[in-house]
A and B are shown apart, each in its own frame.
Chain A
Amino acid sequence: MIDRRLLKNFDLGLLFVALAIALIGVMTIYSATRPVLDAEQQSFYLKQLNWIGLSLLALFFVARLDYRLPLQLAYIFFGIGVVLLIIVLIAGRIGMGAQRWISLGFFSFQPSEFFKIFFILAVSRYLSEMEQEAELDLRKLTKITAVFLAFPAALIIMQPDLGTALILIFIFISMVMIFGIRKKIIAVAVIIGIISVPFIGNILFQSLKGYQKYRIVAFLDPGVDPRGIGYHIIQSKVTIGSGGFMGKGFQKGTQGPLRFLPERHTDFIFAIFAEEWGFMGSVLLFLLYLFIIIRGFQTARVASDKAGCYLAAGITSMFTFYFVINIGMTLGMAPVVGAPLPLMSYGGTALLSNFISLGFIESIRMRRSCLSY
């Protein structure tokens, strides 16, 4: 049975807030796919409810599990993850122009979705076993990058799934930053970064697929609108803006059901929420997300060992990046890169992955040292 002391430390607040956001998500999915043009309600919201049930079980399972066990197996997980990424490139199912899915007959999943957790586990384990006192010098940094980041990121870019690859890079940067890097390296990296932005930007831009280029062009200047993606950005802003201070009210939004807004129940779900619940609702929702993020970082601070600290920090960074990229895109402040809003967007794999992540946070929190330092 579960240790009573552990149970006492289980963070009910984190669980309730996450569940609340997920249920708000179901509500919004329901409203966004209301049958205005279609004959009947689409069943997205029901599927999402089922996934929430499954995800809750996963959260409890992971939380009960001592996070040190998966850390022990971190490198094996990492290896399996890389193999899955290779398999998906060779035998994956193609959907929406990219080869991201592995089909097991009865269901299909995106290995890159779970790979992020394996990646965080492996990097946490590695960093925790390094000598803490010295900050990372260039040699060590290069080594970690080569071992953990370069190959899987390349595999994910080949799918192509630029969004996930970018997130992986962001997570990696924040984890090594938390470990500590020599100031000199940071300074040089920033300078090189600034100088090379035009060059790298150009190379990256050239290597993008047609639709990705359009997204960036459309972001920089929605008026140019070569393919109607600028139109999506405009529609997202119209949707959010029309919510006003108090919102139009639940099931009163029009932009989603009338299909003005694309991806209304997935990537652009926040726009629908903001339309129906207004500025008030949006601020409240932001606070809920902020609660989870701060709890996550706090967990990193109170973890009973270094590995737990890196694990919590890595997971929270991932969660944060998804949130920032998605909301930035919806508000028209960042380019459209298909990134879901954690806990809210329709999609089973992502939801499961989100709850498993939170399970890890709970697990670390439950086993924290009695005295926080």
Chain B
Amino acid sequence: MDRRIVIGIYIVLTIFGAFLIRLWDLQIIKGEKYRTLAESNRLRFVETPAPRGIIYDRNNLPLVRNVQSFDISFHREDLPKDNMSLAALGRLIGLEPEDVMARIKKGGKGSLEPVRLKQNVTFKDVAMAEARRIDFPGLQVDVTVSRDYIYGQLASHVIGYLGRLTLAQANSPEYDDVPREAFVGQWGTEKNYDTLLRGTAAKKIIEVDAVGRVIKDMGINDPVKGRDIRLTIDKNVQQEAEKSLLGSTGAVVVLNANTGEVLALASAPAFDPNLFAKGINYRDWQTLLNDPRKPLLNRAIQSQYPPGSTFKIVSAIAALEEGLITDSTSVNCSGSINFGRRFRCWKDGGHGGGVDLYRGIVGSCDVYFYEIGKRISIDKLARYASDFGLGKPSGIELEGERSGTVPTTEWKLKTKKEKWYKGETLNAIIGQGYMTATPIQMARLVSSAVNGGKLYRPHILKDFFFENNTEKSVNLKPENVFLLKRALAGVVTEGTGGRARSSLVNIGGKTGTSQVIAQPEHGGGNAEEYRDHAWFVAFAPVENPEIAVAVFVEHGGHGGSAAAPIAKNVIEEYFNCKLGKDECGNEEPVPQNPDPGT
């Protein structure tokens, strides 16, 4: 045992010997070299974010571009010690010495990353800073590339915005390669496709001399620009939708009825993503957050309201497919029916006798649908609603989507701890009561109803192959789809949706009004907050549907007056552009905000 310990001691001595040789090599032989490196030369670690990918609309029009801007940073270790020079540095870049110190302190640990003193400086400031480089070796002018959203608010809820890395992101492996000062997508497409758009930041170790001049670059990896992406959004249709919504609160969704591509998705009021491009300031952020009209809310996917009479599309299809009614089934509308209690038709005098499916839809006769409601169970109706995509998120690649509600007997037992009353089916069948939906769900519903039952997942990225894009196919009977389309066309030509009538293309549609509760009791009369919400869903052309539209206007009043004209504008814009007409484009005068009162 003793012998083995002695061997151990010899091994230790050998290792010490090796350490001494290495130490001799580093300190004596190469000592001079390292001394110069440590004293006059400085190694710096520099990371530059790559330019982000460009976002194009479906016709390859850029919606955003990258612009250069100049920032002034300072390397901490070269910070002047005396107050005089500190003041001079402050004067040079237009900051108080205390501000300079505060910023330097705030910059976090580690001497390697320079501290950003001032952003977005002018060319004049850049020239001044460069000229005084000799006095302030730590000064550094960075050229950064930032975002310019060319059309301002256009499609802001689709495009989203940028922001600095959050603390959670900085610690997550997903953002490992992102420099700490970089901006990344924090909402919308900018966030969801951030990994594509982001690119790869440049990384290098540079050796600089005492005046900050770069002597040598080491370990460079060049920046790789982010990937460009193309959206399904059509800039012109989007612009038209936003123009038509101007001044009101609401949303427009335009879908390709046969693919699920989102041609336009507008939510009003919108916001300007340019505010976020260089880091939003506190005041602007608070203004956005505290705005009672909530511009950051994406109403197209986040606001859920009773779909009102637009839901009658589902009711009609369900009744036809289940064989509960035929084309010729007719009822007599006296203005109300009795079913446990009194259920009123929206039209006080009633629609008279002989109201069949066509007249029931065209006149939006509630009594006609109450009759269906007596014959169908809520769970059967709910199955059709969910076949058309209600009650669950549409799956569009935007966050925060709400799912709406499709009530069933089970749902009521679970959430209200109460059994379902048959009378409630009569509310549900005209789209009131517990039933709620988002605008995108309604656009999807119309697509599916007029294309024969195929339910697509709406998407906004164009050049992507969605293998599972068809979510469900229910194969509606063609004759039923025909009856429905004929009736919806009638709504526009001779019914409640007359204001959507277009000389350019045959439009079919359905109006809807979502009741704002307790209107008369509040005595509010026609005050805006007591006015009903307006819905209009549409598709065109009637003969061979290409696009489906859902319009929702908060407190807009009746769907036929507030929402239908917007749908018409948007559809006409689409076909004008498709036919290459002059009317397509940005020059069109801003249309008057449709008067929701009538």
Contact = CB atoms under 8 A, between A and B. Distances in A.
Interface of A: 36-37, 39, 132, 174, 177-180, 210, 223-225, 228, 230-231, 234-235, 237-245, 254-255, 258-260, 274-275, 278-279, 282-283, 286, 290, 293-294, 297, 300-301, 309, 313, 317, 320, 324, 327-328, 331, 333, 373
Given A174-B8, A178-B8, A282-B23, A231 B45 contact: yes
A231 B23 contact: no
A297 B11 CA distance: 12
Interface in B37-71: 37-39, 42-43, 45
A240 B2 contact: no
Given A37-B111, A258-B77, A241 B33 contact: yes
Interface in B107-131: 109-112
A240 B16 CA distance: 17
Contacts of A244: 27-28, 31-32, 35
A297 B13 CA distance: 12
Contact of B38 (A36, A37, A177, A238): A238
Contact of A259 (B27, B37, B39, B111): B111
Contacts of A258: 77, 111
Contact of B43 (A234, A243, A282, A333): A234
Contacts of A230: 219
B182 to A, nearest CB: 16
A258 B8 CA distance: 40
A306 to B, nearest CB: 8
A354 B559 CA distance: 80
B256 to A, nearest CB: 43
13 contacts: A231-B205, A237-B26, A238-B38, A243-B27, A254-B38, A260-B43, A274-B23, A290-B13, A320-B12, A324-B15, A331-B22, A331-B26, A333-B19
A128 B1 CA distance: 12
A142 to B, nearest CB: 21
B19 A178 contact: no
Contacts of B22: 331, 333
In order of increasing CB-CB distance, the 10 nearest A-B pairs are: A241-B34, A242-B38, A259-B111, A244-B31, A241-B26, A242-B35, A279-B27, A242-B34, A225-B219, A258-B77
Contacts of A283: 20, 23
A239 B13 CA distance: 25
Contacts of B15: 324
B363 to A, nearest CB: 66
Contacts of B20: 283, 286
B5 interface: yes
Contacts of B219: 223-225, 230
Nearest to B13: A290
A259 B112 CA distance: 8
B32 A259 contact: no
Contacts of A317: 8
A37 B39 contact: no
B347 interface: no
Q: Report the contact-size class of chain B (Cβ under 8 Å from the partner).
A: 35 or more
Contact of A178 (B1, B30, B43, B173): B1
B351 to A, nearest CB: 69
Contacts of B359: none
Contact of A260 (B13, B30, B33, B111): B111
B5 A235 contact: no
A180 B7 CA distance: 12
A324 B12 CA distance: 9
A181 to B, nearest CB: 10
B76 interface: yes
A300 B16 CA distance: 20
Nearest to A259: B111
A174 B12 CA distance: 12
Given A241-B33, A242-B37, 8 more contacts: A223-B218, A230-B219, A242-B35, A245-B28, A258-B111, A290-B12, A297-B8, A301-B2
A235 B43 CA distance: 9
Nearest to B111: A259
Nearest to B23: A282
B27 A282 contact: yes
A36 B20 CA distance: 31
A180 B24 contact: no
B9 interface: yes
A278 B27 contact: yes
Contact of B39 (A240, A254, A293, A324): A254
Contact of A294 (B9, B37, B105, B111): B9
Contacts of A279: 23-24, 27-28, 31
B37 A286 contact: no
Nearest to A235: B43
Given A240-B23, A241-B27, A255 B38 contact: yes
Contacts of A331: 19, 22-23, 26
Nearest to A260: B111
Interface string B203-222: 00100000000000011000
Contacts of A297: 5, 8-9, 12
